[in-house]
């Protein structure tokens, strides 16, 4: 399927199959990226690496509450998707640096648009929750 974009709003082509095919929706690039960046730790890792390179344990200390396992998994996934570059220095003890790839850096722009929207409209969401219950 691939959800398409035209101008300033998300558009689904007029000839969109109805119903939206389940298989194609789940493999849709937009869906994939949102689910990835919507997981628990990816955002803060991207934000930190967007500032400067980090060593593994340095990241671990910089993100309160993240487990070793999830930091590893988050970094591995980002690396596999080409968003993060991993650089090993064969010293003793070993030093591993993580940095955003150009692709990863290019993601920060659109991500910022969403972040901007979130901070701008956060009070409206809070107000709606206060009215509606929960």
Partner DNA sequence: CGGGATCCGCGAGGATACTG
Partner DNA sequence: CAGTATCCTCGCGGATCCCG
Rounded CA gap, 100 and 37, in Å?
Answer: 14
Binds 90: which of a second copy, DNA, none (CB < 5-8 Å by kind)? none
User: Interhelix angle for 42-51 vs 29-37, to 10°?
Assistant: 80
Under the binding rule (CB under 8 A), the answer on residue 97 touching a second copy is no
- Centre a 10 Å sphere on the Cβ of residue 97 and count the other Cβ atoms it contains: 14
Binds 53: which of a second copy, DNA, none (CB < 5-8 Å by kind)? none
Under the binding rule (CB under 8 A), the answer on residue 109 touching a second copy is yes
- Centre a 10 Å sphere on the Cβ of residue 111 and count the other Cβ atoms it contains: 16
Stretch that binds a second copy, among 67-75, 87-95, 118-126 (CB under 8 A): 118-126
Those residues whose C-beta lies under 8 Å from the C-beta of residue 89, and which sit 6 or more positions away, are 95, 96, 97
Binds 67: which of DNA, a second copy, none (CB < 5-8 Å by kind)? DNA
Which lies closer to DNA via its Cβ, residue 7 or residue 93? 93
Q: Which residues bind DNA (CB under 7 A)?
A: 39-41, 55-58, 65-70, 72, 75-76, 86, 93-97
Question: Which of 43, 55, 56, 70 lies at the binding interface for a second copy (CB under 8 A)?
Answer: 43
**Would you call the peptide bond into 115 cis, given omega within 30 degrees of 0 as the criterion?**
no
């Amino acid at each position: 399927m691939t959800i398409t974009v035209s101008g300033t709003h998300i558009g689904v082509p007029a000839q969109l199959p109805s119903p939206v095919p389940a298989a194609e929706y789940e493999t849709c690039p937009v869906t994939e990226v949102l689910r990835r960046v919507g997981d628990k730790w990816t955002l803060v890792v991207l934000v930190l690496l967007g500032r400067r390179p980090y060593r593994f344990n340095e990241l671990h200390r910089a993100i309160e509450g993240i487990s070793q396992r999830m930091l590893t998994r988050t970094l591995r996934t980002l690396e596999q998707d080409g968003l993060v570059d991993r650089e090993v220095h064969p010293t003793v003890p070993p030093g591993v640096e993580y940095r955003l790839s150009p692709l990863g850096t290019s993601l920060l722009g659109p991500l910022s648009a969403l972040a901007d929207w979130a901070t701008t409209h956060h009070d409206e969401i809070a107000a709606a929750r206060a009215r509606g219950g929960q």
